[in-house]
Amino acid sequence: MKYIKQVLGGELRQYTMVIALAALIIIFNITSGGRMITPSNFQNLLSGNAYVLVLAIGMLMVIVIGQIDLAVGSVAGFSGMVMALVARDLGFPWWLAVIVSLTIGLLAGAWQGFWVAKLGIPGFITTLGGMMIFRGGVIWISKSISVPAPTELKWFGAGYLPEWGPVFTGMNNSTLLLGIIAIAAYVYGQLRRRKRTAKLTGTTEPFWPVIARIILVGGIIAFFTWIFGTGRPGTSFPVPGLILVILVIIYHIITERTQFGRHIYAVGGNKSAAALSGVNVQKTYFFTMLNMSFLAALAGIMFVGRSTAAGPSDGTGWELDAIASVFIGGAAVSGGIGTVLNTMVGGMVMAVLNSGLMLMGVGADRTQVIKGLVLLAAVAFDVYNKAHGRRSIIGAIFPEKESKQSEGKPADSREK
């Protein structure tokens, strides 16, 4: 156990949801007769849930500041419908229609951010009103009729990385190159982390745990590279998945390495203390809500591209899946705690549940019941640990956040 902790770099409890995700994949693969771990299923799993995971990134930041956004699904549906309408009725080229859609998202975010930041209306009330406004708006402007989307958008919603180069690899070379880059980046990151830790603490971590982590994570990346790269001809790593990966990297850096990210956690940890320490709380609220609606518009574009049409019911219930992903990923209900990477794990747990239960022939009614129970269990587990003086999942990763919250201080610094 001691050596496992050295390899994983901390307590095993912080990997609870990762272990649960792996267990779900294995269990569903066995019960479905091997249909879970296949190239086509994983490609569909990623491309079919990418838009929800994009929403979950923005929702994490909203929940960390202690707010909630119930309008994201309606904003996504409204933005997607506007894009389809301006392309069809006004003759806009697809790229200009996309810009219009993203602008609609920014305007919606500015509208809701104004009410939350400037007028102090709670996010729950503001976005509940926004949900009604934009849901009614999408039905109004569409006249309850689906509108075809520009064909070029299909690549963004359901496309695959192109094939090129030699055939002797037996894989899609774009996917293979992506996997090699991912492994190289992880190796570089681990070596850089070891060097930085030694510089900060004066103690050097043994080299063997670093090598073990590289082999473990590198093996997992290689496995998924093979899965995505060996599907039927014409398929590879999905383009929506690549968009999601890019966004995860960007927002991981924003939340972990920038002043704005530190302010988000500080406001969520203790708003009053953050304000006294010089954090502009109103500005943090405004831009967090603005960012959420921007990502909602992007999610709407991806969904419309996948479905090749914008419909009046697009976005219905999306906010619930995004919120569930954040909380299953370990975010605190009270705000101040949560990470982008853990949110992605939480989102994939929900996606694997959907896919696995579908492969087993479980109906939509029972699937919803099971997903609800999983959400309650994940949150209850974290709350139980805190109530009994145990460290929460996120608390194990960022112990200083948890201790500062208990002291009533803003969690404005995190481990690097």
Could you give the 3-state DSSP secondary structure of residue 233? coil
Q: Does residue 352 lie in a domain region?
A: no
**pLDDT band, very low/low/confident/very high, at 411 (cuts 50, 70, 90):** very low
- pLDDT of the residue at 396: 41
For 217, residues 6+ apart whose C-beta sits below 8 A from its C-beta are 186
Average pLDDT (204-212) is 84
Q: Does residue 173 lie in a domain region?
A: yes
If one counts the domains in the chain, the total is 1
- pLDDT of the residue at 401: 44
For 101, residues 6+ apart whose C-beta sits below 8 A from its C-beta are 79, 80, 82, 83, 297, 300, 301
- pLDDT of the residue at 386: 62
At 76, the amino acid letter reads A
CA terminus-to-terminus distance, the chain: 25
Higher-pLDDT residue of 141, 167: 141
Q: Does residue 220 lie in a domain region?
A: yes
Write down the mean pLDDT value for the chain. Answer: 87
3-state secondary structure string across 5-42: HHHHCCCHHHHHHHHHHHHHHHHHHHHCCCCCCCHHHH
**pLDDT band, very low/low/confident/very high, at 366 (cuts 50, 70, 90):** confident
Query: Bridge partners of 17?
Result: none
- pLDDT of the residue at 391: 46
Q: Does residue 303 lie in a domain region?
A: no
Tell me: pLDDT of 365 over 90: no
Question: What pLDDT, in 10s, does the model give residues 116-154?
Answer: 999 999 999 999 999 999 999 999 999 999 999 999 999
Least Cα distance to 55 among 298, 246, 252 occurs for 298
For 57, residues 6+ apart whose C-beta sits below 8 A from its C-beta are 247, 248, 251, 295, 340, 343
Q: Does residue 225 lie in a domain region?
A: yes
For the chain, what percent of residues have pLDDT higher than 70? 88
**pLDDT band, very low/low/confident/very high, at 371 (cuts 50, 70, 90):** confident
- pLDDT of the residue at 6: 64
Average pLDDT (221-226) is 95
Domain membership of residue 222 as a residue range: 160-237
Average pLDDT (166-195) is 92
Q: Does residue 375 lie in a domain region?
A: no
Helices (H), 68-172: 72-89, 94-117, 123-142, 154-158
The helix or strand, by DSSP H or E, that contains position 148, with its residue range, turns out to be strand 147-148
Say which range, 20-34, 78-92, 103-117, 373-387, has the weakest mean pLDDT.
373-387
Q: Does residue 252 lie in a domain region?
A: no
Q: Does residue 222 lie in a domain region?
A: yes
**pLDDT band, very low/low/confident/very high, at 404 (cuts 50, 70, 90):** very low
What's the pTM value of the predicted model, to 2 decimals?
0.88
CB burial readout 320-331, b (16+ within 10 A) else e: bbbbbbbbbbbb
Which backbone phi and psi does 106 adopt, to 5 degrees? -65, -40
C-alpha span between 101 and 300 (Å, rounded): 9
